[in-house]
Homo-oligomer: A and B are copies of this chain.
Amino acid sequence: MARVIVDVVLKPEILDPQGQAIVGALARLGIDGVADVRQGKHFELEVDESVDDETVAKLADTLLANPVIENFTIRR
């Protein structure tokens, strides 16, 4: 068993209401020095040897992310 991590983030040009809400809160919390926040999804997959990055990519592209608005990265 190996752990693969897939992070899904909105494409830069797509509006990110979540991130914006956090930026707004930071100001109210008096925390500064944070210029921008983008919120995405983080997936931790437990896979066996048979699953190579290609399979994971296919899976990410069809199931974990919507290519129309999101990009993803894969880490092991």
Contacts and interface: CB of A to CB of B under 8 A. Distances in A.
Q: How many copies of this chain does one complex carry?
A: 2
A46 B22 CA distance: 12
B36 A55 contact: no
Interface in A1-58: 1, 7-9, 19, 22, 25-26, 29, 31, 33-48, 50-51, 55, 58
> Which interface class (under 10, 10 to 19, 20 to 34, 35 or more) fits A?
20 to 34
Given A29-B62, A44-B9, A64-B22, A51 B34 contact: yes
B45 A34 contact: yes
A68 interface: no
Contact of A7 (B25, B38, B42, B45): B42
